[in-house]
Amino acid sequence: MDYGKTAPSVLEGVGGASNVESLGHCATRLRFVLRDASKADRAAVEAAPGVITVVESGGQFQVVIGNDVAKAYAEITRISGLGADKPRAQDGSASGSGSTGPAPRGNPLTRLVDVISSIFTPFLWTLAGAGLLKATIVLVTKLGLVAETSQEFTVLNAAGDGVFFFLPVLLAVTAAKRFGANQWTAMAIAGSLVYPAIGALNEAGVPVSFFGIPMVMVAYASSVIPVILAVYVQSFVERGLDKALPSSIRNFITPMLTILLMVPLTLLTIGPASDWAGQGASGLIGWLFGLSPAVAGAVLGGTWQIMVVFGIHWGLVPMMANDLAVQGHSLLYGPLVAASAAQGAAVLAVMLRTRSKSLKKLAGPAAVSSFLAGITEPAVYGVNLRLKKPFVYACIAGAVGGGIASAGGSASTAYIMPGLLSLSAYLEVGSFALQLAGVGVAVALSFGLTMALGFKDIPEDAAAEADGAARAEGPDEATDADATPERPAGEAFEVATPVEGRVVALTDVPDPVFSSGTLGDGAAVAPTSGEVHSPIDGTVVSVLPHAYGLRSPEGVEVLVHIGIDTVRLGGEHFTTAVRQGDHVRLGDPLGEVDLAAVEAAGYDTTTMVIVLDAAGTGVVRTTEHPEVEHSTVLLSLSPEHALTPVG
């Protein structure tokens, strides 16, 4: 399909780019939010090449494309500038070039964490890499390999410190996307805050005023809170100016007036207020650690990974950054290496104890990631949290080790990912010996508890492994875990259910795209468990938090779609265990969903299993049991369709 022809037809059919409030896509559909739904020509859109049908639901104009929806989305964003991060102003201009993203859901804390994570996530790895570089520079200077007075040190220090000095500029870009403000104007405002002459006014220590108004000067280099608040206010200023100004002058007068207003406003009010708030929060943390560093470290070390699971750890990131900017170190980092290493130790023990091939494959790389880089998501989501007990053991060990590490006032002097590779960032503040002792105790305790107390293994994987060993014909038999055995000629292709639950006829699904068979034939399951497993042997060709596309070696494409309209959750309550390109076997974990939370948010959790483009090929439901376990055969596909090799 030539989506170069599809895109302009669809765009014209929805009323043009100026009629689009926002555009996103899920596993099969382009999802438009239109300014004026009456301007859309549904018949014209459905007539566009590559369009299967149109569904208008929940305030969205949904254009069903099928498995290649990402290609159509990419072409529309290319020709229009639309997309989840590029909404248009009312006149079609790009003056509002940021994105408000999906509307935040949940309580105020949840919304705050969502905002913070969306602002920091795009350059998190850059911060982590620069933080690791800074920690390495500290190490080489301590070892005497580079003198702090040398020109080499100046260059290397600039390389590691530049991103932190100009952190307000980076935050301006991502905050503008989040709040729907103009990114370039936001960068201009942030650039004014770190302008050398402004910094000199702060360092001079003399009274400063602006047209007679006293100005409290603070240090804006490396700051976090002032620029985020400034860009938030900027978004409202721009929207007001866009409405008030005529289009003939709007494109250049709006940025001029916004900068003219926001720079003095930030320096006079937002900056000082946020600086006081930041210093207050930092002082509170220092007070808590002053009362009992060991207890404070134990609490944070034991709960850190729990906060990571729920995403609320992002609430501490601005506090860490503020501590680094104000005092050059952050006590919040003290217990975190122990907490991360404990997860790595638990997953290492799982790798040694489990009989599950899929867990062993996940556990090895996950352990390395947790230990060295402090990246625990693969360990937590892929292994420990799934097995539950190893996660608990690691949290207990993280509390013990974190308390020991913080007992000596250990703190990081750089923004880092808390792994062993970043330990040199702890050399300058507190007891480095206690930091090492805390990490060592956390690793030993987590590994020991997991090995000694054990966990409930995955019975279906263990049984499959035992069954495979029993059927082995000799040393020459292939043992590659990713290899898919040849299917005998004439044998029907079978698709299993990915979830446990109650089987539902596809025609009973309350979504016309699925129930009509437009995408393909299949069945649905009302799930009773949040674990999602692969229904076939094959390759993962697409991954969204709520949907997975898989392709078998014979070329059969299967869509697993969890819930109806759950794309609106933006991934909340979903975790994935696979990536695009991964090879999976029948029953391997694809991800998990918190069914209760999704239902509480008002969404149907019915899970669809669709054989794509299977109209007229003889897909039949093979199970007559209303209640099924995952990996139970659900669908059967006629051999003449299923056994046509691809490529």
Q: Active-site residues: which are they?
A: 26, 561
Bridge partners for 538 per DSSP: 584
Cβ-contact 524, 514 below 8 angstroms? yes
Q: How far is CA 29 from CA 48, 71, 565, 567, 612, in A?
A: 14, 11, 10, 10, 14
How far apart CA 59 and CA 62 sit, in angstroms, is 9
Cα 123 versus chain centre, distance: 12
Cα 245 versus chain centre, distance: 38
Instruction: Give the SS3 label for residue 5.
Output: helix
Instruction: Give the SS3 label for residue 217.
Output: coil
Instruction: Give the SS3 label for residue 271.
Output: helix
Cβ-contact 401, 445 below 8 angstroms? yes
195 contacts: CB under 8 Å, gap ≥ 6: none
Instruction: Give the SS3 label for residue 554.
Output: coil
Residue found under tokens 């930030």: 266
Cβ-contact 403, 294 below 8 angstroms? yes
Nearest residue to 298 (alpha-carbon basis) of 405, 150, 149, 448: 405
Residues counted in the chain: 647
Instruction: Give the SS3 label for residue 431.
Output: coil
How far apart CA 646 and CA 610 sit, in angstroms, is 19
Instruction: Give the SS3 label for residue 128.
Output: helix
Cβ-contact 584, 573 below 8 angstroms? no
